[in-house]
Amino acid sequence: MKSTKRAIIRASNLCRTYSSGSEQFHAIRNVNLDIYEGDFTVIMGNSGSGKSTLLYMLSGLDRVSVGEVYFDDQRIDENNEKEMANFRARRIGYIYQSINLVPDLTIYENIALPGYIAGSSTKEVTKKATDLIKAMDLEGQQFRLPSQTSGGQQQRAAIARALINSPEVIFADEPTGSLNYDQGVAVLDILTELNRNGQSVVMVTHDIKAACRADRLIVIRDGKVNGELHFNKYDEQDVPSREAVIFSLVSGKG
């Protein structure tokens, strides 16, 4: 479907080939994909279909083998290492399934660190980190090490860390994968609220309930885009009907 929304990311003829010895594996094959500003885009697909690989390339976390990636109309796949690190620090936020907080830094320090890496002043970082700690309901946890907090608190800290530089796009790779049900819902509620306030979100998930948060769903199969659905902004009432259409598209039973 042609969209009137602005493409914040454009990927053209994207390929990613992994080599091991003389073997080559084509994890992403000729993908053409736009990600629209303000959308909550969800990527689903079977294990090994290439979701994480695609997310890495769209976010500049990994190199493309062939193809082009444009972010806000600027080509990023030709960036050198320094330009790419700068791009990642300032323009995107990344939330990992495995959370990946630095174990020896406090929750506050983990959240603040990318602010300093991006070159913000101590005053700016302190204000933003303090606001985010409040918004993510982490007051009282900020001087603890990650190991002294719950999984849900750690993932909320990881979201705060991803937001510290006010990125244009937040990428989340199975952000609820290591959480219990209630913690997962809390994280999805935060991402949904951020998106309602205009934040572009791109999330990979295996969970159909989590995928119901999408206003655009993309299904990947064998490294290719295999289907797409569009929804209105998330409304809890729509979940049962959304679950059914998402299930039929993902399972190929539609």
Strands 92-95 and 169-173: parallel
Q: Which two tokens stand for residue 208?
A: 């159909």
Query: Contact between 237 and ligand ATP (CB under 6 A)?
Result: no
Q: Cβ 18 to ligand ATP, closest distance in Å? A: 3
Handedness of CA 184, 190, 196, 198 (dihedral sign): negative
Q: What is the token pair recorded at 7?
A: 């493409």
Write the CB contacts of 191 (distance below 8 Å, at least 6 apart in sequence). 40, 159, 170, 172, 175, 201, 203, 213
- Pick the binder of ligand ATP from 41, 53, 142, 192 (CB under 6 A): 53
Shortest spacing between CB 107 and ligand ATP, in angstroms: 27
- Read off the DSSP letter of residue 149: S
Which residue lies nearer to ligand ATP by CB, 52 or 79? 52
Q: Does 118 bind ligand ATP (CB under 6 A)?
A: no
Residue from the set 24, 48, 83, 104 that interacts with ligand ATP by CB under 6 A: 48
Q: How many CB atoms lie within 10 A of CB 165?
A: 22
Q: How far apart are CB 147 and ligand ATP at their closest, in Å?
A: 25
217 is a site residue for ligand ATP (CB under 6 A): no
Considering only residues 128 through 147, tell me which ones interact with ligand ATP, judged by CB under 6 A: none
Interface residues with ligand ATP (CB under 6 A) are 18, 20, 25, 27, 45, 47-53
